[in-house]
Amino acid sequence: MGTPSEPIRDSTARTSRRGNRPLPRRAAAARRSFDSTLKTLDALAVAGARVSVHVADLDRGTVVLHGDDFVTQPVGGLGIVPLLVEVAARFDEGSLDPLEIVERASVDPVAQAGLWRHLKAPALPLGDLAVLAAAGGDALAANILLDRVGIDAVRARIHSLGLRRVAVLDRFRDRRGPDDAPHFALGTARDFAELFAALVNAKLVNPAVSAQVAEWLTLNQDLSLIGAATGLDPFAHDDDRHGLLFVSKTGRETGVQAEAGVLAGPRAGIAYALVVCFDDLSIMHRLRAHDAFRTLGLDLMEYVF
């Protein structure tokens, strides 16, 4: 299902951009093996899941793993990322005030992911809502941000970023009727991996917007998928003592698990995205999808360390 790119053959050991230590040839060869991931993803595809993956080396600008990365699929909360880009751009240009207080009751209640619906505070500033949406995938916070900037503006921002196969279709809903869009957002693994690569390279709108969105997403507390392989503290991983940089966002809905982000260590940095759509018929079906993310996470950790 997935396809590893041809390994880069170095006649001498290379030096990582993240340090002056040379990379032994044996370590380089080991890091470029995604055999475990390929085997796991192939098994999922054979079982009927729709799988798409894209992994790119940030230093070299090369794709090291890809499979059906051009296929548009539901991505759940990954659609919050382009929304955050639009919010950060509005904050940066001054057309939106991060201290503007917004009432929770200004949008319809939604009993999905997030903490705000459990809090006593009936209103919060927009800047805090961006943190809740990024760190905890808070559906209420995301809906208010989407209502405040407008879905048409988010779609225009997506177009300006060159994300041809990404779309935010609707707000988060507990139930989707026949007149509602079938999903919150759609996208491809390739587009979301490239989005995160642009983010950490400060090429998303401008350096200030890139830095703000990266700061929000560094707070992401959902390390249950690829993040499970990092060993990071889910609640405090923005300053890791071992020099591991992890910026990510997950997305879930019934039968959908997705994650995109950047993982960088002392040897290398990579931008990645994996989307799995499956029949959520039992807990075992769901756990098989989870295992695919964790397997990729282990291979990515070997790559960057």
Is the predicted pLDDT of residue 134 greater than 50, yes or no? yes
Long-range contacts of 3-6 (CB under 8 A, 24+ apart): 3/65, 3/66, 3/67, 4/32, 4/33, 4/34, 4/38, 4/64, 4/65, 5/62, 5/63, 5/64, 5/65, 5/66
Give 8's DSSP letter. Answer: P
Q: Is 285 helix (H, G, I), strand (E, B) or coil?
A: helix
Domains (range + CATH), the chain: 3-304 (3.40.710.10)
Is the predicted pLDDT of residue 170 greater than 90, yes or no? yes
Find where tokens 């997705």 sit: 258
Determine what percent of the chain is predicted with pLDDT higher than 90: 83
What is the crossing angle of helices 139-149 and 151-160, to 10°?
80
CA-CA distance, 108 to 110, in Å (whole number)?
6
Dihedral of CA atoms 76, 250, 131, 177 in degrees, nearest 10, equals 10
Question: Region 39-60: what's the mean pLDDT?
Answer: 96
Find where tokens 């960088």 sit: 264
**How much is the pLDDT for 3?**
64
CA-CA distance, 249 to 224, in Å (whole number)?
11
Is the predicted pLDDT of residue 184 greater than 90, yes or no? yes
pLDDT tens by residue, 137-167: 999 999 999 999 999 999 999 999 999 999 9
**How much is the pLDDT for 29?**
43
**How much is the pLDDT for 4?**
63
293: which residues sit within 8 A by CB, 6+ positions away? Answer: 225, 226, 228, 257, 259, 274, 276
Q: Using 50, 70 and 90 to split pLDDT, how confident is the model at 13?
A: very low
- Any idea what the Cα angle at residue 233 is, between residues 264 and 59, rounded to 5°? 5
pTM, whole model, 2 decimals? 0.89
5-19, 94-108, 186-200: which has the minimum mean pLDDT?
Answer: 5-19
CA-CA distance, 193 to 195, in Å (whole number)?
5
Q: Using 50, 70 and 90 to split pLDDT, how confident is the model at 49?
A: very high
Q: In this structure, which amino acid lies at residue 68?
A: D
**How much is the pLDDT for 15?**
30
Is the predicted pLDDT of residue 300 greater than 50, yes or no? yes
Question: Region 225-254: what's the mean pLDDT?
Answer: 93
Tell which wins on pLDDT, 109 or 192.
Answer: 192
CA-CA distance, 50 to 3, in Å (whole number)?
15
Supply the mean pLDDT for the chain.
Answer: 90
Is the predicted pLDDT of residue 22 greater than 70, yes or no? no
With residue 6 as reference, give the H or E element that holds it: none
65-69, 77-81, 151-155, 239-243: which has the minimum mean pLDDT?
Answer: 239-243
